[in-house]
């Protein structure tokens, strides 16, 4: 694995292919904005089945993977920043219901860049987005994934 892919392979959840495709274009760049744009272009120009796999690589919010401690370090930090690790039993039950309804309707998980959001805001977004058509929600999920990736890149830059 190259240094670039090792460094940026986790920016898109369990999808190192994004960094691998971006590497020939931005391997020598230190410009986070450029890296973010190129990586987003790789996703946007990928085949729909690859985009769907990327969406499905994301964990449910306040889901079983979180409870079992199976989230990536980034996902754990992001969900904790929104207080999803401190749900009341009622909130947890509501997240489980919404996760299931969302999966049943769209066949992929609800994806939202949750940093700086409250549990109430996330639940409200969940309920609103359940009314979307699949194509709209597919594009919304990809847009949220790009937000997550940009936040992860910014966090990496801040750590440097």
Which residues are known catalytic residues?
A: 58
Collapse the DSSP code of 51 into the 3-class scheme (helix H, G, I; strand E, B; otherwise coil) and give the result.
helix
- By the 8 A CB rule, do 82 and 118 touch? yes
- Report the interhelical angle of 32-44 vs 134-159 (nearest 10°): 150
Integer distance in angstroms from the first to the last C-alpha of the chain?
A: 21
- By the 8 A CB rule, do 119 and 82 touch? yes
Q: What is the dihedral of CA 56, 59, 61, 67, to 10 degrees?
A: 150
């Amino acid at each position: 694995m190259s240094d670039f892919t090792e460094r940026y392979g986790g920016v898109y959840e369990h999808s190192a292919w994004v960094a691998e495709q971006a590497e020939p274009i931005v391997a020598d760049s230190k410009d986070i904005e450029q890296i973010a744009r190129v990586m987003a272009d790789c996703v946007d120009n990928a085949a729909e089945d690859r985009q769907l796999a990327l969406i499905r690589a994301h964990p449910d919010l306040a889901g079983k993977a979180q409870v079992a401690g199976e989230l990536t370090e980034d996902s754990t930090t992001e969900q904790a920043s929104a207080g999803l690790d401190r749900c009341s039993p009622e909130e947890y039950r509501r997240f489980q219901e919404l996760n299931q309804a969302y999966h049943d309707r769209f066949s992929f998980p609800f994806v939202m860049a949750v940093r700086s959001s409250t549990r109430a805001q996330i639940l409200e977004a969940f309920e609103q987005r359940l009314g979307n058509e699949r194509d709209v929600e597919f594009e919304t999920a990809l847009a949220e994934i790009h937000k997550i990736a940009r936040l992860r890149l910014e966090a990496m830059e801040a750590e440097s």
